[in-house]
Amino acid sequence: MSHINDHSQQAMPMTQPHNIQRILLAQPRGFCAGVERAISIVEKALEIYGPPVYVRHEIVHNAYVVEDLRRKGAVFVREVDEIPAGGITVFSAHGVSEKVESSAKLRELPVIDATCPLVTKVHYEAKHYEKDGREIVLIGHQGHPEVEGTSGRVKQTVHVIGTPEEAEKLEVNNPDMLAYVTQTTLSLDETRDVIAVLTRRFPSIKGPGEKDICYATQNRQNAVRMMAPHVQLLLVIGAPNSSNSNRLRDLGAEMGVRAFLVQGAQEVQQEWLAGVTQVGITAGASAPELLVQQVIDRLKEWCPAAVVEGFEGIVESVHFKLPREVRSPILRPSTDNVTQGAA
């Protein structure tokens, strides 16, 4: 759990009775098509090939999801060299660099790629710009696995910047031969500001505008934007390392709402409800609906309130096809090694 609004630092007096009248649920919230696909890939791989299935990195950024898959037989590793020979290997939704892909290939690991197709699209863009002879700027958060994956899709060194200030200070080799791409889960406003600085400083820079920000990130941010004027408290369910969840919390706080990022019901604090009549709830793209329902139950234990489902939002209908490796048993895991645990 974390918070950024100054109000949120002060504990509210417990003497004030809770008076929540409505709990508004953002629409859309929670799982996106890329996360649903990645989780299904691991589940189907376990079904078809049997456990263990080795997953490089957390399949999606959510401890509940990871634990659930671990219980079913998934083994999470940091690098492919921790996977025993022949072990069924899944790359996470965030995507991987070419180096990771080649090291799996070199070891002849049977790989299933759960990279979200929208991240793969950004990989292609970066490669396309490099082929054009352009130097690449990646707007994103240093150290995020998606940023590492995208940076590692091109041969040159990529400039990773996250703020307009960093864009102001950016030094490049050839200002006339530049291109940018972005992480898919950024704040729309911040990205727009960074792009504005880049295009002012480097008028011939090429880039996709805000189109790399994925539909799910945009829709969840728009839903918070619509809901914020109607609530005094916003609870965002998501992991501390989930980029899109953090952006939802930031957006609520920027709009003047006390906003908290919580991993689940156990982190919601009763004193946050003092003086609140309407609570807004949303969830990051990797947070399961079960966690949302548990937060609602906890709030209702403290104060009976009407739940308003789907507050003014749009209904998403995006689905991504599963890869062929989990549509039929075409991989050949090595029976010698797959029963061992990871290093």
Q: Can residue 66 be called a binding residue for ligand SF4 (CB under 6 A)?
A: no
Question: Residues 121, 65, 217, 79: is their CA dihedral positive or negative?
Answer: negative
Q: Can residue 23 be called a binding residue for ligand SF4 (CB under 6 A)?
A: no
Minimum CB distance to ligand SF4, residue 188 (Å): 13
Window of 102-110, 114-122, 124-132, 331-339 that interacts with ligand SF4 by CB under 6 A? 114-122
Tell me whether residue 3 or residue 215 sits nearer to ligand SF4 (CB atom). 215
Tell me whether residue 232 or residue 282 sits nearer to ligand SF4 (CB atom). 282
Q: Which of 92, 217, 219, 282 binds ligand SF4 (CB under 6 A)?
A: 217
Window of 127-135, 157-165, 193-201, 211-219 that interacts with ligand SF4 by CB under 6 A? 211-219
Instruction: Please give the distance of CA 90 from its chain centroid, rounded to a whole number.
Output: 17
- The CA distance from 50 to 46, in Å, is 5
Dig out the tokens for 163 from the structure.
Answer: 């703020």
CA atoms within 13 A on the CB side of 217: 22
- The CA distance from 238 to 245, in Å, is 5
Q: Which of 8, 62, 151, 185 binds ligand SF4 (CB under 6 A)?
A: 185
Q: Is 146 a catalytic residue?
A: yes
Window of 26-34, 164-172, 270-278, 329-337 that interacts with ligand SF4 by CB under 6 A? 26-34
Sites for ligand SF4 among residues 322-341 (CB under 6 A): none
b/e burial code for range 197-224 (CB count within 10 A of at least 16 → b): bbeeebeebebbeeebbbebbebbbbbb
Strands 2-3 and 258-262: antiparallel
Q: Can residue 262 be called a binding residue for ligand SF4 (CB under 6 A)?
A: no
Contact present, 274 and 228 (Cβ < 8 Å): no
Residue 156 has phi, psi (to 5 degrees) of -80, 170
Contact present, 23 and 299 (Cβ < 8 Å): yes
Dig out the tokens for 212 from the structure.
Answer: 């790399």
Minimum CB distance to ligand SF4, residue 278 (Å): 27
Minimum CB distance to ligand SF4, residue 180 (Å): 17
Q: Can residue 42 be called a binding residue for ligand SF4 (CB under 6 A)?
A: no
- The CA distance from 235 to 249, in Å, is 8
Residue 10 has phi, psi (to 5 degrees) of -95, 130
| Annotated catalytic residue, options 146, 166, 190, 312 | 146
Sites for ligand SF4 among residues 78-107 (CB under 6 A): 93
Q: Which of 118, 139, 160, 331 binds ligand SF4 (CB under 6 A)?
A: 118
Q: Which of 8, 244, 263, 282 binds ligand SF4 (CB under 6 A)?
A: 244
CA atoms within 13 A on the CB side of 218: 12
Residues forming the active site? 146
The site for ligand SF4 (CB under 6 A) is made up of 32-35, 93, 116, 118-119, 184-185, 214, 216-217, 244, 285
